[in-house]
């Protein structure tokens, strides 16, 4: 295996920069695969020279010769290249024609030679290109050629590629990963908060120089303290490294294009009709002016966000407005409605933007990050425009329902009444039916009356024309989820089957996946986890067929995948799925981010990280508040998950009041429905209250509640929940001394095993006699420390008796406190005695 750890500095190789973050993921493959040419091609600041330096330190032996030629982008003649190579090798330049002289210098077979051409010029003399091309065609066996460039050289690279003699890294490969960027931030500005880190990642996309310079502006190093706290180092850098290499026309074009969300040669040609805009854009691309590709075909690009932000003020406001209007016309002519809306808003033309909003198709809301875009546009458009047409009101209402902003959605639905009656009976029926579809979904989400929700949805289905297939599908979805919550799985399956057929007949992959998510939810409720996993995999494959990244649907798929991992007990696999799903949900303004936080809290609590679990729940509540989500859409789920964490800590005295408060919503003369997105919530709440009875020594009350609950779960076909209820019921029976206790436990375990509920079995396997989960999570060493704490031993005494350091004792003590849900060691001893851990 090749080495990837760098050696110390050696002559002729530039030193590594301060706060250097190694990139072994790039060094290793570059060394593993032999090639005549290793080419790094990217804009300035992507760490090309640093990577070459790192590569030489890892790959060149001490007796190898190194010739590092820093060209600085200068188009030098071949004779000067020969002279610089001779100087680097400490040899006289041969008195021969340049090509032969270079060959003689490089062809010494006595030892390996690494030739580095750093910052190869964008416009080299033809004879220099020809010289290097010939060298590549007849490379001496001892020579390794490493080249960095901002523009791809005009060499015969396809021939090298076909021969397996080319390794090439572009900007996408050279960019820092998120982990690498975090390490860099830790080295330069460890005090940077998470918000700043997220913003920096979103803007820089791993551009190393941009990250360093932005941090130097925010947190000036001591060496630059006299410059000023808000000096824009990045602006200076771009002036020298980018703008100085562009001519006036190229610079003016770049200053305009940084205002656009994406650009192409065709767009530039239409924006600059009096000149050759396409050729100008091609020149900017060739000069690697920080245009990042947006598609595999290389048609659409955008300027790196951090560069675009710094350069935007170079264009006069009037010129920027004119550009936005021109781009708006081009985008709408090309059918790119979303870009046209954004450009109209940037040009301060809200009426034009509102008009374009009506061009959006029915499935648009569920694609990519469109929900977030529409909600943001609503904040920028005058209310009078948003309420000016039935279509705009309907679009807003559906967006608000998807975002669980129910009061605002209700207002939109009420405003639809102002447009009744319509000019003819058909349009009148259509508007009323759309209003009923909205009202039906709203009522279902509010959870006050299942019968009213069903009535509105069914009447809408009777009168909606087939071309209004989006509200048809969402009504089917709402009715199916109502059926799931009320124990009618067959009816739910039939409704979803009809919806799936409609989505397929309309050719809507987005809505096919959206309906699949409901089908997956039904399968999970019934414990059909294998089928659910198959459908998740199929849905991922469907989204992969589309050109865009459908963040809203992908986020939900990752979150349901994480839930399956948790059910199977695969905590390590659940973590990345939760992180991906939550990140995409937040970016799309999807309130399903709630389920990401719930999953993270569940995972943390199973691992004994109770403080972290509560942090996730607090952040979930904060996000729901900031995103204006209707309170009852998330309060119950957060409260229930909080109870589950407390239960794992054995803190039953705090579980009971929360459970009783939740129970009041689902009992009485006018009970609320189970939440559409958490249909098992009231039953899980009853389960926790029954466990409270067990913990308080009231097994008779627990058993009565559990037997009734088990019957309900079996009737509703909530099989995974029935297994958990069965295990708790077995414990209640054991405490009562009933003969069927062992049988109850055996049946519950067998059913859980058959369903693949390894997560449940793992948790209960270590919990004999109903011992709380926190006990099982104490390691043997933590239990030993706990017993010594109970004896009143100091940290030094515990360390001496267990042969561990005082710091290790402190670490174990902190973990014990966290797992038992306390702050001090005296409290830990008291709680341990309460739980039966200490006699």
Tens of pLDDT, residues 320-340: 999 999 999 999 998 899 999
Model confidence at 9, in pLDDT bands (50, 70, 90)? low
The answer to whether the peptide bond before residue 421 is cis (omega within 30 degrees of 0) is yes
Buried/exposed code over 388-422 (b: 16+ C-beta within 10 A; e: otherwise): bebebbbbbbbbbbbbbbbebbbebbebbeebeee
**pLDDT for 105:** 85
Q: How far apart are CA 489 and CA 289, in angstroms?
A: 57
The per-residue pLDDT for range 643-653, each reduced to its tens digit, is 999 998 888 99
6 has pLDDT over 60: no
Tokens of 786: 């706990």
**Residues in CB range of 497: below 8 A, 6 or more apart:** none
Instruction: Write the CATH number of the domain with boundaries 24-174.
Output: 3.40.50.300
Using an 8 Å Cβ cutoff, are 570 and 549 in contact?
no
Using an 8 Å Cβ cutoff, are 558 and 575 in contact?
no
The pairing of beta strand 65-70 with beta strand 37-41: unpaired
Q: How far apart are CA 607 and CA 571, in angstroms?
A: 9
Q: How many CB atoms lie within 10 A of CB 667?
A: 10
Write phi, then psi, for 291 (nearest 5 degrees). Answer: -95, 120
Using an 8 Å Cβ cutoff, are 448 and 411 in contact?
no
If one compares 132 and 6, the residue with the highest pLDDT of the two is 132
**pLDDT for 135:** 87
The per-residue pLDDT for range 36-79, each reduced to its tens digit, is 899 999 999 999 999 999 999 988 887 888 899 999 888 889 89
**pLDDT for 273:** 73
Q: For the residues of 46-60, what is the DSSP string, one character each?
A: SSHHHHHHHHHHHH-
**pLDDT for 2:** 47
Nearest 5°: CA angle at 514, between 297 and 294? 15
* Average pLDDT rounded to a whole number, residues 779-795: 85
724 has pLDDT over 70: yes
21 has pLDDT over 90: yes
CATH topology for the 778-834 domain: Arc Repressor Mutant, subunit A (1.10.10)
* Average pLDDT rounded to a whole number, residues 468-490: 94
Of the candidates 218, 190, 187, the residue with the CA atom closest to the CA atom of residue 203:
218
Q: pTM for the whole thing?
A: 0.82
**pLDDT for 777:** 58
Rg of the chain, C-alpha, whole Å: 33
The per-residue pLDDT for range 576-626, each reduced to its tens digit, is 999 999 999 999 999 999 999 999 999 999 988 999 999 999 999 999 999
**pLDDT for 834:** 64
282 has pLDDT over 50: yes
* Average pLDDT rounded to a whole number, residues 706-711: 96
Q: What percent of the chain is predicted at pLDDT more than 90?
A: 66
**pLDDT for 770:** 45
Using an 8 Å Cβ cutoff, are 306 and 207 in contact?
yes
712 has pLDDT over 50: yes
Tokens of 65: 């010769």
Segments in 118-177 forming alpha helices (H): 126-137, 157-162, 171-174
Write phi, then psi, for 138 (nearest 5 degrees). Answer: -130, 55
Model confidence at 773, in pLDDT bands (50, 70, 90)? very low
**pLDDT for 174:** 95
Model confidence at 228, in pLDDT bands (50, 70, 90)? low
Range with lowest mean pLDDT among 82-91, 173-182, 507-516, 630-639: 82-91
* Average pLDDT rounded to a whole number, residues 682-711: 94
673 has pLDDT over 50: yes
The per-residue pLDDT for range 308-324, each reduced to its tens digit, is 999 999 999 999 999 99
Report CA 600 to chain centroid distance, whole Å. 14
438 has pLDDT over 50: yes
- How many residues comprise the chain? 839
Q: How many CB atoms lie within 10 A of CB 298?
A: 11
Q: What average pLDDT does the structure give for the chain?
A: 90
* Average pLDDT rounded to a whole number, residues 122-136: 89
Q: How far apart are CA 486 and CA 48, in angstroms?
A: 61
151 has pLDDT over 60: yes
* Average pLDDT rounded to a whole number, residues 371-380: 95
**pLDDT for 99:** 82
Q: How far apart are CA 376 and CA 398, in angstroms?
A: 15
Write phi, then psi, for 467 (nearest 5 degrees). Answer: -75, -15
* Average pLDDT rounded to a whole number, residues 431-455: 95
Q: For the residues of 205-242, what is the DSSP string, one character each?
A: TT-HHHHHHHHHHHS--GGGTTT-TT--HHHHHHHHHT
819 has pLDDT over 90: no
Of the candidates 335, 262, 636, 297, the residue with the CA atom closest to the CA atom of residue 485:
636
219 has pLDDT over 90: no
CA dihedral 374, 379, 383, 387 (to 10 degrees): 10
Query: What order of strands is seen across the sheet that includes strand 166-169?
Result: 65-70, 113-120, 143-149, 37-41, 166-169
765 has pLDDT over 70: no
Phi-psi region of 697 (alpha: psi -120 to 50; beta: other; left: phi over 0): left
């Amino acid at each position: 295996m090749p080495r990837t750890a760098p050696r110390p500095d050696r002559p002729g190789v530039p030193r590594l920069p301060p706060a250097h973050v190694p990139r072994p993921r790039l060094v290793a493959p570059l060394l593993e695969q032999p090639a005549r040419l290793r080419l790094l091609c990217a804009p300035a600041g992507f760490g090309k020279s640093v990577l070459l330096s790192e590569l030489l330190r890892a790959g060149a032996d001490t007796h190898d010769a190194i010739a590092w030629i820093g060209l600085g982008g200068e188009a030098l003649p071949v004779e000067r290249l020969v002279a610089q190579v001779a100087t680097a090798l400490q040899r006289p330049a041969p008195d021969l024609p340049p090509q032969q002289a270079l060959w003689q210098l490089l062809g010494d077979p006595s030892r390996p030679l690494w030739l580095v051409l750093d910052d190869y010029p964008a416009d080299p003399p033809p004879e220099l290109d020809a010289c290097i091309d010939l060298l590549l065609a007849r490379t001496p066996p001892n020579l390794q050629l490493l080249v960095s460039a901002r523009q791809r050289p005009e060499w015969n690279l396809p021939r090298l590629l076909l021969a397996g003699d080319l390794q090439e890294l572009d900007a996408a490969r050279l960019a820092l990963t998120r982990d690498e960027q975090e390490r860099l931030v830790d080295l330069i500005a460890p005090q940077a908060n998470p918000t700043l880190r997220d913003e920096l990642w979103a803007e820089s996309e791993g551009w190393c120089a941009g990250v360093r310079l932005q941090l130097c502006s925010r947190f000036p190093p001591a060496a630059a303290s006299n410059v000023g706290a808000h000096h824009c180092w990045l602006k200076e850098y771009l002036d020298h490294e980018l703008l100085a290499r562009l001519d006036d026309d190229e610079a003016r074009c770049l200053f305009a294009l940084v205002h656009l969300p994406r650009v192409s040669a065709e767009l530039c040609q239409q924006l600059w009709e009096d000149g050759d805009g396409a050729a100008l854009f091609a020149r900017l691309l060739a000069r690697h002016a920080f245009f990042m590709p947006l598609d595999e075909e290389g048609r659409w690009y955008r300027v790196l966000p951090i560069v675009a932000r710094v350069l935007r003020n170079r264009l006069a406001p009037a010129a920027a407005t004119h550009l936005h209007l021109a781009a708006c016309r081009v985008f709408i002519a090309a059918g790119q409605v979303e870009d046209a809306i954004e450009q109209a808003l940037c040009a301060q033309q809200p009426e034009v933007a509102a008009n374009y909003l009506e061009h959006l198709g029915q499935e648009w809301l569920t694609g990519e990050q469109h929900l977030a875009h529409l909600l943001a546009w609503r904040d920028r458009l005058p209310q009078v425009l948003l309420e000016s047409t039935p279509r705009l009101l309907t679009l807003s209402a559906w967006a608000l329902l998807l975002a669980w902003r129910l009061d605002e959605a209700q207002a939109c639905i009420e405003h639809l009444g102002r447009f009744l009656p319509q000019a003819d009976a058909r349009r009148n029926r259509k508007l009323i039916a759309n209003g009923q579809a909205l009202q039906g979904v709203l009522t279902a989400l509010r959870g006050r009356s299942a019968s009213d929700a069903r009535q509105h949805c069914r009447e809408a289905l009777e009168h909606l024309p087939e071309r209004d297939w989006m509200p048809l599908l969402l009504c089917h979805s709402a009715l199916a989820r109502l059926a799931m919550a009320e124990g009618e799985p067959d009816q739910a399956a039939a409704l979803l089957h009809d919806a799936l057929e409609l989505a397929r007949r309309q050719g809507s992959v987005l809505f096919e996946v959206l309906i699949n998510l409901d089908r997956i939810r039904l399968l999970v409720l019934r414990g059909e986890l294998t089928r659910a996993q198959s459908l998740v995999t199929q849905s991922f494959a469907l989204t992969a067929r589309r050109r865009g990244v459908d963040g809203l649907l992908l986020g939900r798929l990752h979150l349901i995948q994480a839930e399956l991992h948790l059910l199977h007990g695969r905590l390590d696999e659940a973590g990345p799925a939760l992180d991906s799903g939550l990140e995409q949900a937040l970016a799309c303004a999807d309130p399903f981010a709630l389920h990401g936080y719930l999953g993270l809290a569940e995972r943390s609590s199973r691992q004994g990280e109770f403080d972290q679990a509560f942090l996730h729940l607090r952040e979930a509540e904060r996000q729901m508040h900031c995103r204006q989500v209707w309170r009852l859409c998330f309060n119950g789920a957060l409260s229930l998950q909080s109870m589950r964490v407390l239960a794992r800590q054995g803190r039953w005295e705090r579980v009971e009041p929360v459970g009783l408060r939740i129970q009041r919503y689902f009992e009485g003369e006018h009970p609320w429905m189970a939440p559409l997105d958490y249909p098992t919530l009231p039953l899980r709440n009853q389960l926790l209250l029954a466990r409270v009875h067990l913990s308080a020594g009231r097994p008779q009350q627990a058993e009565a509640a559990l037997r009734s609950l088990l019957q309900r779960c079996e009737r509703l076909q909530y099989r995974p929940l029935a297994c958990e209820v069965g295990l708790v019921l077995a414990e209640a029976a054991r405490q009562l001394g009933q003969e069927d206790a062992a049988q109850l436990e055996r049946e519950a375990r067998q059913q859980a095993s058959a369903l693949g509920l390894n997560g449940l079995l793992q948790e209960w396997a270590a919990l004999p006699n109903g011992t709380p989960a926190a006990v099982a999570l104490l390691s043997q060493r933590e239990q030993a420390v706990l017993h010594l704490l109970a004896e009143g031993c100091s940290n030094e005494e515990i360390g001496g008796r267990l042969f561990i350091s005082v710091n290790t004792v402190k670490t174990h003590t902190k973990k014990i406190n966290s797992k038992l849900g306390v702050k001090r060691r005296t409290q830990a001893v008291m709680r341990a005695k309460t739980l039966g851990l200490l006699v």
